[in-house]
Structure 1
Amino acid sequence: MTTLYTALLYLIQPLIWLRLWLRGRKAPAYRKRWAERYGYCSGKVLPHGIVLHSVSVGETLAAVPLVRALRHRYPTLPITVTTMTPTGKDVHHVYLPYDLPGSINRFLDTVDPRLVIIMETELWPNIIRILHQRKIPLVIANARLSERSAKGYKKLGGFMRDLLQRITLIAAQNAEDGDRFLSLGLKRSHLTVTGSLKFDISVTPELAAKAVTLRRQWASRRPVWIATSTHEGEEAIVLDAHRRLLQQFPDLLLILVPRHPERFKDACDLTQKRGFSFILRSSGEIPSSSTQVVIGDTMGELMMLYGIADLAFVGGSLVERGGHNPLEPAAHAIPVLMGPHIWNFKDICAKLQQAEGLITVTDVVSLQKEVANLLQDDDYRRYYGRHAVEVLHQNQGALQRLLQLLEPHLPPRAH
């Protein structure tokens, strides 16, 4: 089956080039550094360290505390962060090559890592096979496996079992995910449930200070709400709710942050078309009293922007994208609102809902109503914010558990 998979992967390469080229129309970064996607990264990485792979921007953010902790524990060990998309580029990195034997071997010849960590669940057959052949340990960290994915993998039978048995360790987010891996043929001795790394985030004093300063400059006496990680279809709902809210709270400021950089322009066009007075965060301007919307069109500032707001709506949840991370606003002790499509964060959202730290909305009317309720009542707003941050603190510890599991595969620490 591996031979068939590899042959198909070679055959579809022209389609992949076409897709990268087309995506490059909106995000030029997709048209750059193609050689890295085929394992040519000489001079861009330091060998004999750790390779950490995260496919998306969300996983890269979850990996930041892990990278910091590894750097602190192993200061002389090089860390190469690989991603699939340009948006995951917060740390100096190279692209992970396509899962073609020649590309993977070329990459590993250059990087020659002691350990490879893959965030969440990226199961690439050739990477797994070649790492196993080279006796390079592979850890899947913060691993999750949805019921839907598990059903799909089950159809692959013995192929999947053989693949999983070549993985050194899977550190699962919860027991449910762990059981799904076991049902596919993973040996119990290769599984540990560590909890989710996404809980191991914190608001640094520097970040908090920046947010306080910006809040004073932007809206010292105005209420502020933020809508983040929005997808196509969600900005319209958010802006319609904002239009209604302005009738009740005339000085209300909305910070709107689309999920992908290639959609910043669409959000600007829509905001302009709806007749709002708006500015772009990238302009460096300070909102005037007549500014109704700030469009967050910068990268790497989301955690700080949450610190400016009184409450947050997290997108990808009113449309069928599975939702994005509710713990980032929770870290600022502000109430979190999300739509019903939250399967990417099912476990985390369930914990927040049980603790009354998350409010579910379904459309313009319910979004406007819930935001209004929170803005009207300071005690109600603080109640939801406090409960959200408590859930975050109660579930921390996955990072320390994971670091202990990685220790046998890394050189002794200097004390």
Structure 2
Amino acid sequence: MSSAPPKGWARWLYSGALYTLSPLIWRRVWREQVPTHPRLERLGHVPESNDPTLWLHAASVGEVIAARPLIEALRRRYPAHQLVVTTMTATGAERVEALFKGEVTHHFVPLDFPGAARRFVHTLAPELAIFFETELWPNLLEACHRRGVPVAVVNGRLSARAMRGYRRLGALMANALAKVDWLAAKSSEDAERFRELGMPGERLDVVGSLKFDIDADDRMSGESEHLRASFGPRPVWTAASTHPGEDEQVLMAHRRVRERYPDALLILVPRHPQRFDDVAELCRERGETLARRSRSEPVQDKTTVYLGDTMGELMRLYGTTDVAFVGGSLVPVGGHNLLEPAILGVPVLSGPELANFSDVAEVLRSADALVDVADAEALGEAVSALLAAPDERRRRGEAAKAAVMAQRGALARTLAGLAKLLPGDAETPLPDGVNH
């Protein structure tokens, strides 16, 4: 006669595996540090606070940017609460600081060891825990559950590729999702995948993607105009959030563009700051005349590549450009945020690797606002064609912005759902069009 496995066995096995791999895990996160944060945060050691606290976890830079509208809305709606934002990566920490200038508290999320998770949740004592997208850490969820902290997963997404991996951890994921009080999926496809993993349907809603609630920063528009004027009357295109193996393709495309437009300027923005120097050297090896933004080097007539090697300025750089290619899409990364150039009315180009942004890509394609390119040659041809057709550039840019605006509303629906999990009423009204 067989007996059922003990309750929580999958999480116990998972925790055992984490302890076994802890030397490798610790070595990996050792590099992900900023001087203002002690490494003991990784073990759940954070300062206590006397203020009521809301906690939002976003993995890295892309998630922090996507969560920005929600973070700003939570600050306005719950001004008496301390808002704590955690990230896994140092670049995510730096982005929190750059965007919010100390107006929210940042900590590194603890490694998902049982003790560290319990210590963090006990010390922080949040009234609500909000996990962004697919940040499902079993021991953190368990710690919240044991302390009675309601848990929400917002902008929930689960790609088909990720689903295949999570399916192998079926018991672990079902156990984790059982601790989630509300999951706000960004699409019906994402909702169905979460349901297949074990998320109870009565605690699952489709609210749309928070990414579409992005706003153009009017304060940056003047700075963008000033920077563009400094480039002189020349064609400008941007390749942003690029990865190894992609920078080379972008530079090949730029060479093709310059065959038709010899004075064309490429603004190249690598995804990760640790690669800035390597990409600068690559540009020189390829015969490009380089100016680096981090060094305040001016763009001169002979400059062919302007390296955006600073943090927090991507939207400012997008505001200077005629055409924008969004990277992570010519290499198997899954793409990056197509909405940032779109909301500025800039024509958007992308490669085929868009697993992480397939929903956004489909919206832009449906509006005839996304140009798909397969490789470096196609990218060069597409950029050249758009530079040659100002009316087509304008049409595609306007279509991209209109498509983004038409999809807005997920933020209001998310705030309404979160309000149901918090004790008492909100301290300020919900946005227009949202009722309790």
TM-score (norm 2): 0.90
- Partner residue of 2:87? 83
User: C-alpha deviations, 1:182-201, integer Å up to 9, x for none?
Assistant: 12221111101110011011
Structure 2: state its 5+ residue gaps: 1-9, 98-105, 429-436
Partner of residue 18 from structure 1, selected from 11, 14, 27 = 27
- Cα distance between partner residues in 2 of 1:9 and 1:346: 32
Partner of residue 38 from structure 2, selected from 33, 43, 67 = 33
User: C-alpha deviations, 1:99-143, integer Å up to 9, x for none?
Assistant: 111111211222110001111011111111111111101100000
Partner of residue 11 from structure 2, selected from 2, 21, 30 = 2
- Cα distance between partner residues in 1 of 2:240 and 2:387: 18
- Cα distance between partner residues in 2 of 1:192 and 1:318: 33
AA partner of residue 219 (structure 2):
E
- Cα distance between partner residues in 2 of 1:8 and 1:47: 36
Identity fraction in percent: 45
Instruction: Map 1:196-275 to 2 at 5 A.
Output: 196-217=209-230, 219-275=231-287
Structure 1: state its 5+ residue gaps: none
Q: Secondary structure at the match of 1:402?
A: helix
- Partner residue of 1:279? 291
AA partner of residue 136 (structure 1):
V
AA partner of residue 105 (structure 1):
R
Q: Decide which moves more: 31-40 or 371-380.
A: 31-40
Instruction: For residue 150 of structure 1, report the CA deviation from its aligned partner.
Output: 2.4
AA partner of residue 13 (structure 2):
L
- Cα distance between partner residues in 1 of 2:174 and 2:195: 9
Q: Secondary structure at the match of 2:149?
A: coil
Does 2:120 match 1:107?
yes
**1:414–1:155: structure 2 CA closer, same or farther, 3 Å change rule?**
closer
- Cα distance between partner residues in 1 of 2:287 and 2:96: 38
Alignment check: 8 A CA contact 1:228 1:259 kept? yes
- Cα distance between partner residues in 2 of 1:229 and 1:30: 25
Instruction: Map 1:309-328 to 2 at 5 A.
Output: 309-328=321-340
Instruction: Map 1:84-163 to 2 at 5 A.
Output: 84-89=88-93, 90-92=95-97, 93-163=106-176
Instruction: For residue 31 of structure 1, report the CA deviation from its aligned partner.
Output: 12
User: C-alpha deviations, 1:345-389, integer Å up to 9, x for none?
Assistant: 011101111211111111221111100000001011111111111
AA partner of residue 39 (structure 2):
W
Partner of residue 371 from structure 2, selected from 355, 359, 369 = 359
Partner of residue 384 from structure 1, selected from 367, 376, 396 = 396
- Cα distance between partner residues in 2 of 1:166 and 1:30: 34
Instruction: For residue 47 of structure 1, report the CA deviation from its aligned partner.
Output: 4.8
Q: Secondary structure at the match of 1:356?
A: coil
- Partner residue of 1:345? 357
- Cα distance between partner residues in 2 of 1:165 and 1:108: 18
Alignment check: 8 A CA contact 1:48 1:78 kept? yes
- Cα distance between partner residues in 2 of 1:414 and 1:132: 25
Instruction: Map 1:373-412 to 2 at 5 A.
Output: 373-410=385-422, 411-412=424-425
Q: Secondary structure at the match of 1:409?
A: coil
Equivalenced residues, count: 409
Q: Secondary structure at the match of 1:232?
A: coil
- Cα distance between partner residues in 2 of 1:46 and 1:275: 58
Instruction: Map 1:289-304 to 2 at 5 A.
Output: 289-304=301-316
User: C-alpha deviations, 1:66-113, integer Å up to 9, x for none?
Assistant: 111111111111001100001112224110001111111211222110
Instruction: For residue 17 of structure 1, report the CA deviation from its aligned partner.
Output: 2.5
Q: Secondary structure at the match of 1:318?
A: coil
Q: Secondary structure at the match of 1:6?
A: helix
- Cα distance between partner residues in 2 of 1:28 and 1:110: 21
Instruction: Map 1:43-54 to 2 at 5 A.
Output: 47-54=51-58
